[in-house]
Amino acid sequence: MNNPKLLSLNSTTSLISRFTRGFIQALIRINKQRPVTSSSPREMYIRHRRIKSAADKSMALAVRSRRNWSRAVLARFRKKRRRHVLVRRITTCAMKKRGLENKKSGHKEASHGQANELRRLVPGGEAMDLCSLLEETAHYLKCLNTQVQVMRCVADSYSTI
Amino acid sequence: MSSRRSRSRQSGGSRITEDQINDLVTRLQQLLPELRNRRSDKVSSAKVLQETCNYIRSLHREVEDLSERLSELLATTDTAQAALIRGLLMQ
């Protein structure tokens, strides 16, 4: 990773290197398991999904469980099925209550819809109050940016072989 | 259990002040390429949140595209493994 843009972000350098290491190790594992017919559309699709999962999981692992959103991602990977049902039950309940609360205080009616949209996009966002949702979103955005930059670097270094 | 947790959040939520929210929205605005260079009092918080959603969606799309591209690269490159290990040693 000799991209100067990446290295200039000193505070996030360790996060970047943790993510890069984790992601490349995952890619190596995925690559080891490739069958002989690795370019059939089906194989390509399965690998595409696995790489996407690896990218998300590596990012959450790099952040560790210091953030709500990374905890949500890791929990999702741990209990994919059970969690799905549980989250839906909790969030519909939480969202109904939040709706009432917001109407009572008359708080930012205009951005209410957008906040709910954001809740669906940020992992674990459904269960957050507005303040932590905004904080988590800022952190999540930075991490997504890092993810994209690193993945692009890996893909580019591949293409130039 | 879930209802008790939401109740405690609700009471915590009511202590959030308008200023706190505005600070957080301004911080968020700094992260958006579309709105970064605009003065924060010129952009409504609804606009910032809308742009944030769009930006997250575009980044999600990029991660999807890059995963697909990497999947294709793994299929075509025989030396992929060596290149990956080299990448690991380089950082």
For residue B29, give the CATH number of its domain: 4.10.280
Task: Report if residue A83 sits inside a domain.
Answer: yes
- Whether A130 contacts B16, CB under 8 Å: yes
pTM of the shown model = 0.75
Q: Is residue B7 part of a domain?
A: no
Number of domains in chain A: 1
Say how far apart CA A20 and CA B13 lie, in whole Å.
Answer: 37
DSSP for B19-85, written as a single string:
HHHHHHHHHHHHT-TTTTTS-GGGS-HHHHHHHHHHHHHHHHHHHHHHHHHHHHHHHH-TTHHHHHH
Residue B57 lies in a domain: yes
Indicate yes or no: CB of A151 within 8 angstroms of CB of B67.
yes
CA separation for the pair A110, B50 (Å, rounded): 11
Report how many domains make up chain B: 1
Nearest CA in chain B to A54: B67
Asked whether residue A11 is domain-assigned, the answer is: no
- Cα four-point dihedral sign A147, A63, A51, A89: negative
**Domain residue limits at B28:** 18-90
Query: Is A1 within the bounds of a domain?
Result: no
Residue A4 located in a structural domain = no
Rounded-to-integer distance, Cα A81 and Cα A77, Å: 9
A38 in a domain, yes or no?
yes
Within 22-61 of B, beta carbons closer than 8 Å to A belong to: 24-25, 27-28, 31, 44-46, 49-50, 52-53, 55-57, 59-60
B12 inside domain: no
B60 within some domain: yes
pLDDT tens for A63-113 read 998 899 999 999 999 877 565 556 556 555 555 555 444 444 434 444 578
pLDDT at residue A94, rounded to an integer: 57
CB contact under 8 A, B74 and A30: yes
Give per-residue pLDDT as tens, B46-62: 999 999 999 999 999 99
Measure B56 CA to nearest chain A CA, in Å: 7
Asked whether the beta carbons of residue B77 and residue A158 sit closer than 8 angstroms, the reply is yes
Q: What's the domain range around A68?
A: 20-93+122-158
What average pLDDT does this structure show over A127-155? 94
Nearest residue of B to residue A137, measured between CA atoms: B28
